[in-house]
Structure 1
Amino acid sequence: MKEKTITIPYEIKMADSFVTRLKGLMFRREPIKNEGLWIIPCNSVHMFFMNFSIDVVLLNKQNEVVKVYHNLQPWRATKPVKSAYSTLELPAGSINQFGIHIGSIIHC
């Protein structure tokens, strides 16, 4: 059975250098809205120095969802996911809003 491809209708910024991956969304004052951050490579995230919650979607190299975290709170961290290659950080509630689940294919 072919999984449904989900297109994220937000402006997605790429974090693919050491500096952009390290900074991520840290120190932003306001929650993200209608935007996201795609961190490549990345198989876990931390929420240190974050001021708001986000949804986190971990993807393999084929952009298939391998793990999701709903409403990840500031000062939390995820365990590394061996099968994950990249991480998509989205506004809290996006996973439910777009029907994202393990096995979905994400297009940004």
Structure 2
Amino acid sequence: MKLVNLRNEEIIAEHVNPAYQFFKRLRGLMFTADLEEGVGLHIKPCRSIHTFFMNYDIDVLYLNESNVVVAVDESFEPGKFGKVYADANSVIELPSGTISQTETKVGDQVSLER
């Protein structure tokens, strides 16, 4: 899937992998060596993340049911618990620097296109 910011028409990620089943959500990006530029992981349902067993920073978009960004975490470090966002329905984990590079912010609506 491709992730696009509908406000500025920026492509946030060319390849977003789904993590919709329990074990895919549980594993997430744990034990991966890195996250390549242009790649992301969409975890649904999800209201919070952790970065235990990861070796690199990530950017995180928290989305509501309408795919509106309700919160962001930039350069979220390994070994941390994230905040719980009650209005989040899913998260997208991205390479560190993606949020600022694409000028994505809270209130933007994004589209996941197949």
* TM-score, length basis structure 1: 0.92
Q: Is the 8 A contact 2:12 2:38 kept in 1?
A: no
Counterpart secondary structure, 2:37:
coil
Could you list the per-position Cα deviations for residues 68-91 of structure 1 after superposition, in whole angstroms to 9, with x for gaps in the alignment?
000000001112100000000000
> 1:16-58 CA distances to partner (integer Å, 9 max, x unpaired)?
0000000000001134322000000000000000010000000
Structure 2 CA distance for aligned equivalents of residues 57 and 32 of structure 1: 17
Matches within 5 A, 1:53-72: 53-72=57-76
Q: Distance in 1 between matches of 2:59 and 2:34?
A: 15
TM-score normalized with structure 2 length: 0.87
Does residue 78 of the first structure (1) align with residue 101 of the second (2)? Answer: no
Separation in 2, partners of 1:92, 1:47: 13
Match of 1:4 in 2: 7
**CA contact 2:62–2:70 (8 Å) conserved in 1:** yes
Measured after TM superposition, the shift of residue 5 of structure 1 is: 5.8
Q: Which runs of 5+ in 2 are unaligned?
A: 1-5
Aligned residues: percent identity? 38
Which residues of structure 1 form unaligned runs of 5+? none
Letter in 2 for 1:4: R
Are 1:55 and 1:95, in contact at CA under 8 Å, matched by a contact in 2?
yes
Letter in 2 for 1:80: V
- For 1:87-106, list aligned pairs within 5 A: 87-106=91-110
Paired residue secondary structure (1:21): helix
SS across alignment from 2:26: helix
Measured on the aligned residues, the alpha-carbon RMSD in Å equals 1.4
Distance (whole Å) between structure 1 residues aligned to residue 29 and residue 7 of structure 2: 28
